[in-house]
């Protein structure tokens, strides 16, 4: 307590806020989940259906975040390096997934990707179904996590001076070599940050996925939907156990990505 009294007021306010907004709810979640006892906790957490939802959620989210890592970087490159008509409009559209209610996003995606939708009807003859499959889950995760990488990479790209690239050219590097050896390493850390944010967002997504997925266990049921299903059955303990496991996995994934990020910016002092 003496340490607390020596802290300046921004510190105290921040700590108080963090405790109220993050510490307390997380503690409550963990405490609630431990009311079932270790044996039951383990049984619920490792039930086959629960395991399958972890896999569907985290693997799909990771794939979506990685795809957006590439596409978002490319988009940021285009936005920084090219001028074209309606650029401002495009900048606005990129942020739409931030603003759009997720249920609306799900509805829109389901319309486009269902077997009689614009895109869904094109791939349906090839035997590919997107909506109401795991692919649909992936599309929804791609959609809602897209802006993160663009928005983290864009300012970093903007800061890279043109003369860095010109220096590489003058030393004989082709445009591709210049991108690969000079530009990419400098934006890698920002890309990873974007991927981490996009990944967390995708893991937590519920509203759009519940609409575009069929939520059949072992196929496209995600953990967040399983939590809701448990709640609907008044199985609060089951819901919080799965919630706690998600929390742990998310936390570990973010830790790994943060380490990668630190490695990506090791040259900055």
According to CB under 8 A, which one of 121, 166, 233, 258 is a site residue for other proteins? 166
E strands present in 111-176: none
What is the biggest distance separating any 2 CA atoms in the chain, rounded to whole angstroms? 71
CA 160 to chain centre: 26
- If the CB atoms of residues 116 and 269 are measured against other proteins, the closer one turns out to be 269
- Residue 168 DSSP label: H
CB of 191 to other proteins, least distance (A): 13
- If the CB atoms of residues 186 and 214 are measured against other proteins, the closer one turns out to be 186
- If the CB atoms of residues 116 and 170 are measured against other proteins, the closer one turns out to be 170
Q: Which residues of 189-207 are buried (b: 16+ CB within 10 A; e: fewer)?
A: bbbbbbbbbbbbbbbebbb
At residue 40, the 3 state secondary structure works out as helix
CB of 194 to other proteins, least distance (A): 18
Q: Should residue 181 be labelled a site residue for other proteins when binding is judged by CB under 8 A? A: yes
For 24, phi then psi, to 5°, come to -65, -55
- If the CB atoms of residues 161 and 232 are measured against other proteins, the closer one turns out to be 161
Tell me the C-alpha distance between 158 and 81, whole Å. Answer: 8
Provide the 10 A C-beta neighbour count for residue 53: 26
* Helix intervals (H) in 183-235: 184-204, 209-212, 223-232
Q: Should residue 182 be labelled a site residue for other proteins when binding is judged by CB under 8 A? A: yes
Contact 76, 146 (CB under 8 A): no
- If the CB atoms of residues 165 and 235 are measured against other proteins, the closer one turns out to be 165
| CA trace torsion 217, 220, 224, 227 (10° rounding) | -10
Which one of the spans 38-46, 142-150, 168-176, 255-263 is the region binding other proteins (CB under 8 A)?
Answer: 168-176
Interface with other proteins in residues 239-268 (CB under 8 A): 267-268
According to CB under 8 A, which one of 13, 21, 164, 216 is a site residue for other proteins? 164
According to CB under 8 A, which one of 46, 121, 177, 258 is a site residue for other proteins? 177
According to CB under 8 A, which one of 14, 121, 174, 258 is a site residue for other proteins? 174
- If the CB atoms of residues 37 and 185 are measured against other proteins, the closer one turns out to be 185
According to CB under 8 A, which one of 167, 248, 256, 259 is a site residue for other proteins? 167
Binding site for other proteins (CB under 8 A): 161, 163-164, 166-174, 177, 181-182, 185-186, 267-269
């Amino acid at each position: 307590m003496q340490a607390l009294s020596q802290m300046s007021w921004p510190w105290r306010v921040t700590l108080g806020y963090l405790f109220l907004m993050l510490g307390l709810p997380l503690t409550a979640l963990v405490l609630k989940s431990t009311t079932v006892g270790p044996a039951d906790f383990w049984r619920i957490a490792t039930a086959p259906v629960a395991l399958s939802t972890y896999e569907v959620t985290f693997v799909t989210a990771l794939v979506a975040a990685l795809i957006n890592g590439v596409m978002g970087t490319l988009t940021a490159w285009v936005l920084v390096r090219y001028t074209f008509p309606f650029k401002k409009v495009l900048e606005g559209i990129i942020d739409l997934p931030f603003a759009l209610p997720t249920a609306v996003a799900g509805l829109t995606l389901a319309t486009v990707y269902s077997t009689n939708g614009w895109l869904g009807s094109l791939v349906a003859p090839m035997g590919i179904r997107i909506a109401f499959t795991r692919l649909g889950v992936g599309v929804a995760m791609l959609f809602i996590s897209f802006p993160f990488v663009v928005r983290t990479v864009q300012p970093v790209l903007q800061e890279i001076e043109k003369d860095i690239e010109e220096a590489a050219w003058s030393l004989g590097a082709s445009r591709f070599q210049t991108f690969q050896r000079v530009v990419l390493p400098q934006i890698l850390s920002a890309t990873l940050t974007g991927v981490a944010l996009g990944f967390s967002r995708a893991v937590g997504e519920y509203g759009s996925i519940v609409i575009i997925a069929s939520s059949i266990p072992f196929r496209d049921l995600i953990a967040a939907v399983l939590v809701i299903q448990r709640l609907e059955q008044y199985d609060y303990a089951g819901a919080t156990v799965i919630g706690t496991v998600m929390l742990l996995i998310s936390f570990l994934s973010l830790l790994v990505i943060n380490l990668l990020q630190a490695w990506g910016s090791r040259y900055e002092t």
